[in-house]
Amino acid sequence: MQALLALSRLIDGINLRVGRVVIWLTLLMAIVSASNAVVRKTLHISSNAWLELQWYMFGAIFLLAAGYTLLKNEHVRVDVLAQRLSRRTQIKIEIFGVLFFLLPASLLVLWLSWPMFIESWVTHEQSSNTGGLVRWPVKLLIPVGFLLLVLAGISHLIKCIGYLQGLCPDPLAREQAKTAEEALADEIAREALERDGTTAPPPVEAQSGRPQQ
């Protein structure tokens, strides 16, 4: 089991590095998007290549960050029933979900998308838009993104089993007490109350959907 936990740490390290790259890619995409809009409105110049670059970066952010998001336990969950169960039961449900839903679906997309990339690479597929970019890099993002998600799923599975054996921390615990949605709701409410000149109410209590030990 210790070897598997070491493999889990290695996978987590890969997804952490990818996540840090994606953070900067998000900033770069915002700059490209804003520049495209400014140039189009002020100079009445448009470039399909720059527009497609913007789309490609959006696709890269969405696909490459999937494994990182699973590592941070930030994927959307609907735990209406599971939140009433014990932590160990929740972990067992998590193992079932990874084995029979996450991994099969991700492996299927990975298997189907690889030939599509190979065909695009061999034929040197180009965009159908005038002045557009080559298509194989963006098609490569699909298998790479789902490979990272598969690896993250394997790591998560290992940590769930390790938790049941008392060998690692709770893999469902969030780094922050609040979800991103709860933090955003608190911030919006605080700004609205400041504009109204009233006192802000106490922040929303974190509802992770999982009982604490």
How far is the CA of 20 from the CAs of 1, 16, 143, in angstroms? 29, 6, 20
Place of tokens 């299927």: 108
Cα–Cα distance for residue pair 88/166, rounded to 1 Å: 11
Q: pLDDT at residue 87 above 50?
A: yes
Q: pLDDT at residue 57 above 50?
A: yes
Domain of 33, in residue numbers: 2-171
The answer to whether 54 touches 36, Cβ cutoff 8 Å, is yes
Q: Bigger pLDDT: 130 or 28?
A: 28
Q: Please give the tally of structural domains in the chain.
A: 2
Are 104 and 185 in the same domain?
no
Cα–Cα distance for residue pair 21/132, rounded to 1 Å: 25
Give the pLDDT mean for 85-106. Answer: 88
DSSP assignment letter at 166: T
How far is the CA of 201 from the CAs of 56, 145, 193, in angstroms? 42, 41, 9
* 134: phi then psi, degrees, rounded to nearest 5: -70, 150
Cα–Cα distance for residue pair 113/174, rounded to 1 Å: 32
Are 24 and 121 in the same domain?
yes
How far is the CA of 191 from the CAs of 197, 200, 204, in angstroms? 10, 9, 14
Are 186 and 120 in the same domain?
no
Are 130 and 196 in the same domain?
no
Asked if the structure places residue 209 within a domain, the reply is no
Cα–Cα distance for residue pair 64/59, rounded to 1 Å: 8
Structure confidence at residue 206 (pLDDT) = 47
DSSP assignment letter at 102: I
pLDDT band of residue 151 (cuts 50, 70, 90) is very high
Cα–Cα distance for residue pair 47/40, rounded to 1 Å: 9
What predicted TM-score, i.e. pTM, was given to this entire model?
0.76
Are 45 and 116 in the same domain?
yes
Are 25 and 46 in the same domain?
yes
Asked if the structure places residue 100 within a domain, the reply is yes
Structure confidence at residue 6 (pLDDT) = 87
